[in-house]
Structure 1
Amino acid sequence: MPQVDSKHAQRFQELVNQPIDEQCEFFLKSFIFALGDDWPEVVKLSTSFKKYIADASTSTAFQGQLDEAQAADFLQKNGRTRTATQRRDEIRDIDLDFNKHIAFLEYLLLHYKHMILQEYYKRHTELDAPKEHLENFAIGVTGVGYALLEELFTMPEGMNEELEKAISEFYAAKRERENKLKDLEVKSHGEGVGALRAKNELAQMEAQDQTETNKLEMTLNAAKRKAMKHSGSEALAQKKKQQEEEEKKKLMEGRQKMKERSALWEQK
């Protein structure tokens, strides 16, 4: 069985120690095209993950990560149907930093394992994909950490600076909004005019929450479509260039053969 690349393991260790939003942002940059129109689900999962941690007792919460029992419960509530044994084995298998806790990024690798393995075998056409890796949503599949991390750290074709910037700006705006909501929440519990003003502003922001989210998603989707279109144009241009080079090569070879034939006739 292939082993996890040591460089990938080191980078992963650094990533899982980042805040949940940073982990989510990196995952989106790696799989924004593979996720298709479902990429907002990753953002919703991050919100659910953070809420689960916030609701957990401080004695079991571990630096923004879940223990095995919590991770199994979260997977059961948010993932596809599995047996208790499958949940346990897959959670232990995805603990790629071996700390007996599951970071959000580790959960994403488990939640989207099937999609990631599909991307892995699309790139590695020289490999024969085991049947179970691509069927039944890869439920029960373990021992593929090497493939999951390789795909995580392989930026997709079509990713450009503009799209990468759009994803970063999406999260910057999201964090700014969440921080403001938290600040207003604290102020609203005070007394006097300031507390009343904060309470009103908080109510307005919460009422506009979905509208603001939709705006952010539309901006990111526009950048994604542009990147896909540009990527398609580049691929077409590359194919055209390759065809022209092949035709030029054939023409040169034809001329060379004609010269060789002429030389033979002259010798006779």
Structure 2
Amino acid sequence: MTGRLKDKNVIVIGGTSGMGLAQVRRFTAEGARVLIANRNGVQGAAVVKEIGEAAAFVELDVRSEEGWANVVSQAERRFDGPIHALVNNAGILVEEGIEQTSLATYRFLVDVMQVGAFLGMKAVIPSMKRAGGGSIITVSSTAGIVGYPGFFAYTATKWAVRGMTKAAALDLASSNIRVNSIHPGDTETPMIEGRGYNADYVPLKRFARPEEIASLALFLVSDESAYITGAEHIIDGGFTAQ
């Protein structure tokens, strides 16, 4: 590897499986120190054991403002410096159309994927300002680009974080904090395993690999993307081009 993230301190939410785990592996291989945060302490400990001293883990409920404050504090303490990047990966896939979606389900998805992203963005701003700037990435979906029938609450939250990204990018540009969203198509992760999906609808005739999403995230975290902010980055094998 080339050390593209040398000396950068990064927080990755949901970094114990799927796209998040691929990001942790790629970021640390490129020289970053990564704090992983989610609710699964067993999986978190396993990833830290695999990665070594470049990684740490803190339990987090993304809906908790106090929990987010603790994550930022722990990252600064463990890595002895401010935060340079945050990747919000929190996601829950609920396959229900509008008629089947209860108010409780809708609010739960909003709390996890929309409110959680908002709290994360807000929590890292003071630290990134101390660093002289930073990069915030929220992983949305192609469901944040087009409508997905039968996934009402999921689609709503993925569109929401796309808009939040643009508003935050404008608010934070003067602080040299860049904010972007990533919009993957179906990806080979535990989220879609066992659902019987096939890739016939994708022009490239396959699903994305988590490592491919991690490569895009790496670019957006790195200084190579210093002039990119407020943008949605689609990585879907050509699905939304149809």
TM-score, structure 1 normalization: 0.28
Higher alpha-carbon Rg:
1
